[in-house]
Amino acid sequence: MITLHEVHKRDGEDVKAAVLAFGARHPFDGARPDAEPDWKWAEKHFTRLIEVIMGTAALAQTRSTDTVHLAEDEAVQLLLTLNTVPRYRCPICVKQQRDAL
């Protein structure tokens, strides 16, 4: 499965900005706002986004490799879309907080 680091390296400036913004939504606990993101946490959530999308895509696809590539592409598109929303929250973080209630 593709990683945020790979997406950041291979795609254009708009995707790079979206990856950095997604990372910024995953700060270390107690970190200053300008501190480096917790990239391990962000990476886990990006992988989880792909897995959720794969679960949906699997219903329409017959080959698992097609499903993975489709899910990866859709996850990148989601990052681009979220990056247009001011101060958005990571959907996986929101889901985990809601599930904890």
| C-alpha span between 97 and 80 (Å, rounded) | 23
> Could you read off the pLDDT of 8-23 as tens digits, one per residue?
998 799 999 999 999 9
Nearest to 21 by CA among 96, 98, 94, 88: 88
Q: Are 94 and 81 within 8 A, CB to CB?
A: no
Q: How many domains is the chain built from?
A: 1
Residue 73 has pLDDT above 90, yes or no: yes
- Listed range (13-27, 45-59, 82-96) with the worst mean pLDDT: 45-59
| 70-99 burial code (b ≥16 CB/10 A, e <16) | bbbebbbebbbebbeeeeeebebeeeeeee
Q: Structure tokens of 90?
A: 């990571």
| Domain extent for 40 | 4-28+36-100
Q: What is the pTM of this model?
A: 0.84
